[in-house]
Amino acid sequence: MSTQNAGSPLGNLAILSTVVDAALAFLRGDRWAAAILLGAAALSTRVTGAGVVASLLVRILRRLR
């Protein structure tokens, strides 16, 4: 039984950009944001748009702090 791991190029780019955003958040010292974004990147392999939603959520939470 084989599984299909190849996603769309735009989907892969979205996951990559979420991982980069998480790395930048970690370098800034926002460990909670990095954790949320990494979780969203992992979830993005199954749920399209999870990284975008997480990124918006992190930006909103930063503004409210």
16 within some domain:
yes
Q: How much is the pLDDT for 7?
A: 67
56 within some domain:
yes
33 within some domain:
yes
Total count of domains within the chain: 1
Range of the domain at 42: 9-64
49 within some domain:
yes
Give the mean pLDDT of 11-19: 86
2 within some domain:
no
28 within some domain:
yes
Residue among 19, 5, 4, 23 nearest 50 (CA): 19
- pLDDT cut 90: percent of the chain above it: 38
Q: How much is the pLDDT for 31?
A: 94
